[in-house]
Amino acid sequence: MKILIIQLNGNNITEVISDEIIIKNTQDALDIMANASYQDSHKIIIHEKNIIPDFFDLKTRIAGDILQKFSTYDKQLAIIGDFSKYTSKSLRDFIYESNRQGRVFFVSSVEEAKEKLSK
Band of pLDDT at residue 119, cut at 50, 70 and 90: confident
At 25, which helix (H) or strand (E)?
A: none
Beta bridge partners of 43: 13, 76
Residues whose CB is less than 8 angstroms from the CB of residue 18 and which lie 6 or more positions away in sequence, other chains included? 1, 2, 47, 50
Furthest C-alpha separation in the chain: 38
**pTM of the full structure:** 0.95
Q: Encode pLDDT of 17-59 as tens digits.
A: 999 999 999 999 999 999 999 999 999 999 999 999 999 999 9
What's the confidence (pLDDT) of residue 107? Answer: 98
Band of pLDDT at residue 12, cut at 50, 70 and 90: very high
Q: Encode pLDDT of 73-107 as tens digits.
A: 999 999 999 999 999 999 999 999 999 999 999 99
At 98, which helix (H) or strand (E)?
A: helix 89-101
